[in-house]
Structure formats: C-alpha cells, structure tokens
A and B are shown apart, each in its own frame.
Chain A
C-alpha cells in the first residue's frame, strides 16, 4: 500500500510539473523563426534514402595524406595535444596563419591580436554577428547567400537587407554573368547599416568577385562607415585562371573587414571544424569576447594539424606541390564533367568560376511532382525531394539561399556539389542519363 502511495505521488508530481512546464514559454525569443534548417532537413533525407550525394558540400575523397599524417602525429604527440590550448587560437596555428595571410593580404597581421580561431567558419560568422550587430542594425546580404547568414543576423536582432545578383539578360551561362546593380546596391546603404556580408567565391553560385566589383562595395563601406564581413572559405578554389581578390587588401578596408576562412574547405577535411576570422584588432577583440563566453576553446589536435598543413603550404606556395594549386586543378576537371552531363540531359548549368558548387536551371524538365508530403513547398524543394526519393540523387534547392522576398523568383534552380570522386559523378551521370532516356 505504501509502495502504491509513493508511485502515485510521483505520477502526480510529474503530471503537475508537466502541465506547469507546458504553460509557460520555454524558449528565448531570440531563437524564434530560426528553427528550420535546410541542412538538418536535407542531410537527414539523404541519409534515409540510398542516394548518390551531390547535396551537402563536403568531399567524398580523403584529405591530402600529409595533413592526415599531421593529425595522427598530433594525436600521438605529448600530453598537451589533448588538453586545452590558447583560447583564441593554438599558438602554432595563429602564427602560421599570420605569416601566410600577411603575404596574401599585403598587411602585417598580428598573430595574437588580429586572428581568432573558431569551430569552423560557421562559428566565426556567429561570433562576428553577435559581436557587432545590435537590435535594429541593418546587415546587407547579397543573394544568393549561404543560408546561415540570415538566421544569424536575425538571432542578433538585426534586420537583413537583401540585394540580388542577377543574371545579365541573354547570358547567365557562367557565374560571372551574375552581377550586382551598383545603383541598387548603393540604395541599400543607410545610417542604420552596420555591415555587409560578401562571399567570394560564392556559395551556391560560384561567382568570384572581380576587383572592380569589390571596389564598388569597398567604396560604399568606406562612405557609410560599414563593416565588411567577407566569407572566403573557398578562397583557393578558382577555375579558368579567375583570381581570388581579398577585399581586406583594398585601400581603407583592412580596418573595417573581418575575413573568414576554413581549414575544412582548405584541406578537404570539413569534419575537423577549424575556421578563423582575421581582421583589425579593434574589431577582432569583440569577436574574442563572444568566443570566450560561448565555446572558449577549440580542439587542440585539429588546430595543430592545420598549422602543420599551412606551414607546408607556405613552403610550397606557387609550386606544383602546393595543394592550393593541385586541388583546384582536380576540381576544374570535375566541374567540366558535371557541366557536360547536366547539359546533355537538358539541364542548364551555370558554370561556376570558383567554389564547390554548380547550380542548374531545371525549367526545361517537366516532372509530375505528386508527393503529398511536399505539398505547398517551393517548387525546387519538391523537385529535390522527388529526385532523392524517386531517382536516388541528392542535391539542394537553390531558393533556400534566397530571402523570403525573392525566393519565389529562383525556384527553378538546384545546386550540385562536384567535389566528389569521379565514380560518384559517374553514378550521378548514369542516373541522369537513365532518367532523360525515359527509364
């Protein structure tokens, strides 16, 4: 009888507690409206179905052997490799990053003042928005944009102001044909503008901004005293001789730019999650404050390995042994292979000048999308899900990279990642050919 009493009071307590819990708002307002995430949604789908995965942006080949060896060496290294390192970045890593990028940017970068190492470029973006954006600040985002910029601006209480890249009429065969209107861009700047986010090479389009285009943006940043957040994670991946230009190297820009980079994209090791923000100390110090109050440290061994990688690249810079030359060469060939395949089945690819991805116009393809579970979703979302479920090929819908205001205009594009083994690309090709032949 006593046992029954105890159990009943436990149930009673639990019930009352549960009812009470459900009656008050649990979550903080700052996370309202940012709960949906295409990666969570689409990586789950790709995992649920047996697919040829050209969706999420990661290589399905291994990182270069020298960097894997560096990681192993770090793991088997002394005790200190497994314990906390310097919070704002492992000293060997920040030292080589400063040395390496000082050359590239043309400015003396202080390893300890001007660099913050983060858990992937993703966290560098988060630190930047949290450090600089106040409630009501405006942040200009160029569309199409890597999807996380918008929810991060929102979470920081900022207002995203969008300006689209538009394909030049009659062209749009390459990412170079997608341009900004200078008047339209200028019209977006006002006294509330805190920052502009640029991404070059761009995800998903692959556009590599030319010096003149960056100068246009720089002039506006200087005129309106705006910070430029430059996401350059694909900086080494340019094709056809396109040159990656760092906006921070333009006059007047070092002191107002945060440049973000990624060890994962640089060394084809996305799972290591080592990124960084580089910029003038008076801005970086605020990113450090966010970092020390959110994650505080990044994993030591991975930082050690990335440091070794950069040291080697510093020594081989510009030579045929440089991974920064070898990788884009390899990817150029894969880019051609995929583009040719897409064209041959009636899809219209936009040839990217850089990056991991290629978008293709699916307008000419007529498919009966009668999946009730995707009713009401944008056309490209429905198409991508159909392609996963019916054809076993994973891609990403491009309207996910557009603002709510403009996404309707871009529901006819899907994004392919071509940083894959040739065998993966061949499998994708086979699926597309079979489909186009009516099988």
Chain B
C-alpha cells in the first residue's frame, strides 16, 4: 500500500524525515486499522447484496420502460392525497404520535379488519403500525425468531424473507411451489403436501406465507391454507402471513386469511400495506395484526428500532380507510375498484405476451406477472456463466431493448435456480401508455 509518491516524500524531506515518517506510518496504520476493525457485525455478514439495489438504479433512466420494481405509475386516489395535505395542515399532526400506531389509524384498522376477520380486534394490543409491510416483516423476525431456529419459506418468495431470517440468526428452509405440466395460471403452482410436511422439525419456529404471492400471483386456496395450518398446529409453529396484496384479487378467486382458520389466530401475524392498498408505496406504512401475546413482542422491537412512524401519513391512511370502510362491498370502494382496473391491465399484459409467442403465468392476484422467455430464443452465451439466465436476460433486455423486468431467480434459493431461471417478472400496475410502450418493444423484438 506504500505508493511511489509517499515513498518519495519520505526520501526528500531529510530534516523532517522523522516527523514525516511518523505521520506516514500513522496514516498507513489508520488505513490498515480502519479497514480491518470497522467491519460489519456478524449478523449482516453476506446480506449486503440486494436485487433492488442492483436493478432499480438501472431502471431509473427515463428512457427505459419500467415494468421492474413493484410500484404504480398511475396516481393514487385523489381523496388519499387530499387526506395527507389536510393532515399536514394540522399543527399537532406534524409532531410525534403514539409509538405503536397513531390512534386514529389503529382504530380505523380495527374497524376495517374487524369486519374482514369477523371478530373484535383490539386497536391498541392487537395491531402494530410499521414502516411498510417490510417493517412488519422485520419486527416479526426480530421479535419472534431466535438464533438457531428454522423458518420455512415457500419459493418463489419476496426476496427479503431470506436475509431477514438470516439476520435473526435463523436458518431458512426452502420449499418450492411445483408446477404441473401445463402452466396456464398461478393456480397451477402448488405445494407437494409430503414435501411440505417433511420440512417441519422440532427447530421450526415459523413458516412465512405470502398470499397473493409475489412474484407468481398465486392465491392460496382454503384447502392449501388448511394443510399449512394443520402442520403449524401439529408442530406448534407460528405463521407469518404476508398479505400486502390482499385486495388485489381477480374474478373467480377469494382471498382467505389463514388467521381465520381454527386454531390459527393465536399463532399468526398477518401483515398488510397501505402502500399496496392505496397505491402509495412511497408512504411506507404497513401493519401487523395478531394476538396480543405475539404483537407485544413486535411492539418491543418497534420501540427499540424506530419508535414511531410518521404522523401525517398515518392520519391520511386512517381517513382513507374510514372512507372505504363505508363503501366496502360496493363497486366504488377502492379495495374493489383497483382490482377491477388491474384485472383489465393483467389481461392486456397477458395478451401482449401471448401475441409474441410467450407463455405468461396468469396471476390470480397481485400486480405481477411471470413469463417464461424460452420461446424468444435469446442467445446470451456472450455474457458468461456466472449468473443465472434470467439475470443475464434482464440486464441484456434493459440495455438492448430498454425494457426493465426483474429476474425470478432473485425470489428463490440456489437449489431452485434451475427451475426458475427462464422466468422474468413484469409489473402491470402501470398506465396505459407504459403498457403501450412495452407492447411496441415486444412486437419489434426481432427487428
């Protein structure tokens, strides 16, 4: 690490040789000491890579048609924006609110979910407001998952589950959804019951489920959830149910909360997101709902991590929820009207892909669609061998075709990469002009 320049300095200054030598040694030692001692803590070892950090900056280029990261480019409903502007105009709503959730918000959540669950939900003891669904996942892991525990994760999974489990010092146990021969819809991806049962051991602390699933769009049926519930009860494990896309359910399907199955309320944390519910991902508000004896541990994590979420945003979400609560079951309710709007986009996206010879997996819910790109026959051997095919494909497609997607192997473990490496994920909660632009790129693929 001694550069030529630094060595020359030492040579030149004869009468201040000692001082410079000492200073130089000091700087050198600083450099060595800095790099060897101030390293990361063990808990985050190997957790620095992240698919979003890798792909979102690339897609920030405005010339790229971005069907990658999951956020709308359509505006949120006007009353939601107004709610925020109104909240920010009230002095005390610019100051700290209750740590575990702004009272107006937890009360509104208690009303809405009380209706959905068909039971009373205590706003102060059975709800925690967090920084997005992400923050709820983190609070649940940190609060409930111990070093040495095992946590079952179903592939493909929202990518943060594995690093969060690892950061809690636990071991992720992966089980893939497997597909029958003709893949038409996300319903064709199912768990093998015997395989699932084999994953439960005495070390299993929890299973994470995500319904509707990101990236596939699968909605777990009542029977599938019952199978999981039976195992949870048999092995006395917890269930962390990520239901951020709970309202984005397409015709002919029903979202079922595993927490409503017999014996499951007491062992389930259910996670939701204001960002996904109201098309405001940039508000970063979510919540966990569950029994007091579990939620209290998430609250402990909250009070030792960020203490409270932003006040005006919580107030605005509360107002939005109350408005839609009154309309629940009616077509005007945003929870249903958004799903209707997105179903149209889903169908359009599917048609675009089918028209160019690809086979999309039609999602039953959520706002993503996965598609097998094999039929495009894109030769990427020039890109080397160190990444799965889908990573190479997406990087190539962003660069050459100006269309961004997300590689599906980002959502699975190493052992399953071969199973998923021909799939890419497209987000369709985009305005028509964005979908038009994507269509144009795909139609002109071979030109």
* B-binding residues in A (CB < 8 A): 9-10, 13-14, 16-18, 20-31, 34-35, 37, 39-40, 43, 47, 56, 58-63, 68, 71-72, 75-76, 79-87, 118-120, 122-123, 126, 130-135, 148, 151-152, 155-156, 225, 227, 252, 255-256, 268-273, 280, 282-283, 285-286, 288-290, 292-302
Let me know if B14 is at the binding interface, CB within 8 A.
no
- Contact: B297 with A293, CB < 8 Å? no
Report chain B residues within 8 Å CB of A84: 56, 69, 71, 281-282
Nearest opposing residue in chain A for B238, CB measure = A26
Identify which of residues 392-419 in chain B touch chain A, using a CB-to-CB cut-off of 8 Å: none
- Contact: B297 with A75, CB < 8 Å? no
3 nearest CB pairs, A to B: A271-B311, A300-B282, A17-B263
A41 to B53, CA, bound (A): 39
* A-binding residues in B (CB < 8 A): 30, 33-35, 37-44, 47-48, 50, 52-53, 56-57, 69, 71-76, 81, 84-85, 88-89, 91-100, 131-132, 134-135, 138, 142-147, 160, 163-164, 167-168, 233, 236, 238, 262-267, 279-285, 293-294, 296-297, 300-301, 303-313
A23 CB to nearest B CB, Å: 8
A13 to B311, CA, bound (A): 40
Given contacts A282-B38, A297-B132, contact A14 B262 (CB under 8 A): yes
- Contact: A255 with B34, CB < 8 Å? yes
Most buried by A among B47, B75, B146, B263: B263
Nearest opposing residue in chain B for A137, CB measure = B41
- Contact: B297 with A26, CB < 8 Å? yes
- Contact: A26 with B294, CB < 8 Å? yes
- Contact: A17 with B267, CB < 8 Å? yes
Given contacts A131-B41, A273-B310, contact A29 B95 (CB under 8 A): no
Most buried by A among B74, B135, B284: B284
Q: Interface SS of chain A: helix, strand, loop or mixed?
A: helix
Report chain B residues within 8 Å CB of A300: 282-283
Given contacts A13-B263, A132-B41, A283-B38, contact A82 B304 (CB under 8 A): no
28 A-B pairs with C-beta separation under 8 A: A13-B262, A14-B266, A17-B263, A17-B264, A28-B142, A28-B297, A31-B297, A37-B99, A71-B88, A72-B88, A75-B81, A79-B72, A82-B81, A83-B71, A119-B306, A120-B306, A126-B304, A131-B40, A132-B41, A225-B34, A271-B95, A271-B310, A282-B38, A288-B48, A293-B167, A294-B135, A294-B164, A299-B284
Report chain B residues within 8 Å CB of A256: 34, 38
Report chain A residues within 8 Å CB of B53: 87, 292
A425 CB to nearest B CB, Å: 17
Give 12 new A-B contacts, CB below 8 A, not counting A76-B81, A130-B44: A10-B262, A30-B142, A62-B91, A86-B56, A119-B306, A152-B304, A269-B95, A272-B94, A293-B163, A294-B134, A298-B284, A299-B313
